[in-house]
């Protein structure tokens, strides 16, 4: 009688695992293939370029910060940290 209970428990366990796996893959397939057909949005080509800024392609423009003065203080500049190698 004890063996029958163990066998029934294992059958129930494997059936539960199989149902969970089938539901997982069914949801995965539905969200990947079926759901996009119902929620399809019209694809619009959006051009995010500013029409007022119609420069030829490849042209480079350097703009300086208007609040920055042309002078650099003594504290500013490159700092190089180095170690002596023996």
| pLDDT classification of 72: cutoffs 50, 70, 90 | low
Cα 39 → chain centroid: 21
Q: Is the pLDDT of residue 85 over 60?
A: yes
Chain-centroid distance, C-alpha 67: 37
> What pLDDT, in 10s, does the model give residues 2-60?
999 999 999 999 999 999 999 999 999 988 888 888 777 666 655 555 555 666 777 87
Task: Please give the pLDDT value at position 57.
Answer: 77
Report pLDDT for 83.
82
Separation CA 74–CA 56 (nearest Å):
40
Domain ranges, ordered by start, for the chain: 1-43
Q: For 55-74, what is the mean pLDDT?
A: 68
> What are the structure tokens assigned to 7, written together?
């066998």
The answer to whether residues 61 and 55 touch, using CB atoms and an 8 Å cutoff, is: yes
């Amino acid at each position: 009688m004890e063996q029958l209970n163990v066998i029934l428990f294992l059958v129930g366990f494997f059936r539960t695992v199989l149902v969970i796996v089938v539901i997982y893959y069914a949801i995965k397939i539905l969200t990947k293939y079926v759901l996009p057909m119902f929620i399809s949005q019209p694809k619009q080509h959006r051009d995010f370029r500013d029409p007022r800024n119609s420069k030829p392609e490849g042209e480079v423009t350097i703009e300086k910060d208007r609040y920055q003065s042309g002078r650099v203080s003594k504290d500013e500049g490159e700092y190089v940290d180095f170690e002596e190698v023996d």
